[in-house]
Amino acid sequence: MRYAETGYSLEVDLSTGNIEKVETDPKWTELYLGGQGIAAKILWDRVPPEVEPFSPENLLIFSAGLLHGTPVPGANRTAVNTFSPQTNFLAHSLMGGFFGPELKHAGYDRIVIKGKAPDLVYLWINNDKVEIRDATHLRGKGIHETTRLIRKELNEPFAQVAAIGLAGENRVYTASIEHGFNSAARGPGPVMGDKRLKAIAVRGTKEINIARPAELFELCIKLRAKIAESMDVGDWMAVDEDDSFHHDNFAWGNARVRIKDYWSKELEERWRNLKYSNMDRQKGCYNCSKKCINVIFYKGRRFGYKCYGKDTYHMAAFKELDFSYEILPVAMDYGVDSYSTAQVIAFATELYEAGILTDKDLPGFPSDSGARTFYLLEKIVRREGIGDVLANGVYWAARQIGKGAEKYDHNTTKKFEQLPIKLGKLNPPYFLMIATGEKMAITQIEGSFPQDPLPTMEEREAFVKKWEPVLPDDRFKKWFLEWEKRHEISNEAACAITDWNEAMHYLDDSLGFCGFLSSFRGQFGGGVVYHINNMPEIINLAHGMEMDKEKLWRVFQRNRNLVRALNVRRGLRRADERPPDDHWAVRDHEFEQKLLDDYYEFKGWTKDGIPTKETLDSLQLDYVSEDFIRRGILTGNEGSSSRETRSEKDEAQKTGGC
């Protein structure tokens, strides 16, 4: 009997219509846990680098986390993975809501989709009954209407639906997959559209076996109390109060003007009143009481958001929050990523103001910035006129447009739009996270270590005293206590902090945890529910495998290096790893390169950022090193560390040392 997991993948070939329920190797769970970890293994085995993202041979994988469907609260993030047409690298996306747990209750740990349907279809999963159904009547429909019509057609109001809108159908690179008020963005949307898969509907009523249910349930009661405690200290993810970091450090327009130059107490009060006077409710995801999604009913439309997603469109248009409330429900129904799409719109507007795009490119372009934003959104999701170019994202659009447009590509890394951060001096850990992260979004990398130092020693000591999630390594506490200025931190600390941040996110992505309860909340100290110190016990009770902190850390290292290897095999190299020029006003190329050198050495990678044979083999990724040597990516002789030095580093990395 398999515990916590179902032990089965659902394999769907849209080209042939073939559907299979396939038993999975239990060894994979020990090595990669689940979620994105196992998805990365499947993509390595079955999608060679020669396969283009829009090829029928590219896979689209929806993965439940190992702990989905168990009593463990807050385990609900579905991982969606494929290879992105925008970057040609791994597309990593996480989607909250109810989809992953419902999939587990239907009897599957993941859906592996290949091929391309002859015309638009949707997938209906009802426990053991799985069908590919015609969806041509849903062509051009928005997310909410698609969900409503599918539930009505199936006579199943509790079916959990993940769908694409018009943007996904038209293979817009910034298209998202929407599920309720949750999005799987940053890559998989256009691939789902290319496969002509309009939606997936899931209904599951099966039990999930637990290794030690009574003990796990008792622990979960304590975990729920911890969630309640974290809610008591406030949650800036769901509200606009105390959102100073975004307003002080982010930018309006195309990463040009700092919001802090316009921010005021009066503006903050106006926005707060607008939100609460139009709030329908606050809601959470499956088995989670945190309620971090604001559900807004504004001018006849209902939509939901959390955190920074509410800010992007009004930032692009130089407008206030009411503008976001007008455009967000429209954009979400079209199914576009609010992080990237708003930046594409701001980029196009800047090109127009610079004379690079003209009235010929943008006929009837309005004079009002808000109307311009709606105009460009419509062009992009339909791929009409210049929208057909802008739909490929800022990096590719700049190079297709030419005429100096490349100069206005202010904010991409690895061909992907980043958050429009505008800071003074470089923050070393953030440089490493943005430069070397495989996930293409800082919010999926940061979080375990605070973003800024606290001003007084008394505040720092109080923080450290309650710092539950901190690794069993006093150096992290020492670094934080001694930290005076954001940009002044040692390379040693920067490497270890980046590694710790990565660890928690990669474990969350495999177990299915919400980062707002785990990896992303470590910077808030005692309010964290899940961390490296209690995850092993939860896994032991739910799954039954013997897990401790050392083994769990090795799982992180294995998954991190496997994801790295996927991208290296598709061409990722050191030259690709630099944050946008705009992120920090003061840059030091020599220092940044030394920081990369130190980080690569710390990770056991070559000077070009490629995991060495020694590193890969030590993590049971010898199949990766063999492939790299066969392809000439490695010779097998890389790495200058002596056996003794390497052993010391391995020992330090077991608990997050540097």
Say if residue 352 is in the same domain as residue 439: no
Which residue type, as a one-letter code, is found at position 225?
Answer: A
CATH of the domain at 430: 1.10.599.10
Number of domains in the chain: 3
Can you give the C-alpha Rg of the chain in angstroms? Answer: 24
Residue 498 within any structural domain of the chain: yes
The rounded distance, in Å, linking the Cα atoms of 42 and 377 is 35
| Residues near 490 by beta carbon (within 8 Å), at least 6 away in sequence | 479
Res 658 pLDDT > 50: no
The mean pLDDT of the chain is: 91
Q: What is the mean pLDDT of residues 375-394?
A: 98
The rounded distance, in Å, linking the Cα atoms of 469 and 526 is 7
Say if residue 400 is in the same domain as residue 433: no
Q: What is the pLDDT of residue 474?
A: 84
> Is residue 109 within 8 Å of 99, Cβ to Cβ?
no
Taking Cα atoms as reference points, which of 155, 140, 153 lies closest to residue 163? Answer: 140
| Residues near 654 by beta carbon (within 8 Å), at least 6 away in sequence | 549, 550, 553, 554
The rounded distance, in Å, linking the Cα atoms of 285 and 514 is 9
Locate all alpha helices (DSSP H) within 78-162, ordered by sequence.
99-106, 143-154
Res 239 pLDDT > 50: no
Q: Which residues of 67-99 are buried (b: 16+ CB within 10 A; e: fewer)?
A: bbbbbbbbbbbbbbbbbbbbbbbbbbbbbbbbb
Res 653 pLDDT > 90: no
Pairing status of strand 416-417 against strand 279-283: unpaired
Residue 339 within any structural domain of the chain: yes
Mean pLDDT lowest for which of 253-267, 484-498, 602-616?
A: 253-267
CATH of the domain at 163: 3.60.9.10
φ, ψ for residue 236, nearest 5 deg: -70, -10
DSSP state for residue 336 in the 8-state scheme: B
The rounded distance, in Å, linking the Cα atoms of 582 and 350 is 15
Q: What is the mean pLDDT of residues 245-253?
A: 61
Half-sphere exposure of 246 (CA within 13 A, CB side): 18
The last residue of one of the domains, among 373, 405, 437, is 405
| Residues near 163 by beta carbon (within 8 Å), at least 6 away in sequence | 122, 143, 146, 147, 150, 177, 178, 179, 198, 199, 200, 335
The rounded distance, in Å, linking the Cα atoms of 650 and 658 is 9
Residue 215 has which token pair?
């003990």
Q: pLDDT-derived band of residue 490, with 50, 70 and 90 as boundaries? A: very high
Residue 270 within any structural domain of the chain: yes
| Burial class for 28, CB neighbours closer than 10 Å (0-12, 13-18, 19+) | middle
Between CA 52 and CA 64, with CA 58 as vertex, the angle to 5 degrees is 140
Query: SS3 for 91?
Result: strand
Residue 285 within any structural domain of the chain: no
More confident of the two residues 312 and 332: 332
Q: What is the pLDDT of residue 641?
A: 47
The last residue of one of the domains, among 356, 372, 405, is 405
Say if residue 497 is in the same domain as residue 451: yes
Say if residue 185 is in the same domain as residue 99: yes
Say if residue 393 is in the same domain as residue 495: no
Say if residue 452 is in the same domain as residue 399: no
| Rounded percentage of the chain residues whose pLDDT exceeds 70 | 91
Q: Which domain holds residue 514?
A: 423-653
The rounded distance, in Å, linking the Cα atoms of 595 and 431 is 9
The predicted model scores a pTM of 0.94
φ, ψ for residue 265, nearest 5 deg: -65, -35
Q: What is the pLDDT of residue 420?
A: 77
pLDDT digit string, tens, across residues 422-436: 778 899 999 999 999
Say if residue 45 is in the same domain as residue 115: yes
Q: pLDDT-derived band of residue 614, with 50, 70 and 90 as boundaries? A: very high
> Is residue 599 within 8 Å of 499, Cβ to Cβ?
no
Say if residue 376 is in the same domain as residue 432: no
State the SS3 of 141-180.
CCHHHHHHHHHHHHCCCCCEEEECCHHHHCCCCCECEEEC
Q: pLDDT-derived band of residue 152, with 50, 70 and 90 as boundaries? A: very high
The last residue of one of the domains, among 169, 203, 237, is 203
The rounded distance, in Å, linking the Cα atoms of 539 and 72 is 10
pLDDT digit string, tens, across residues 106-139: 999 999 999 999 999 999 999 999 999 999 999 9
The rounded distance, in Å, linking the Cα atoms of 73 and 90 is 29
The rounded distance, in Å, linking the Cα atoms of 477 and 525 is 11
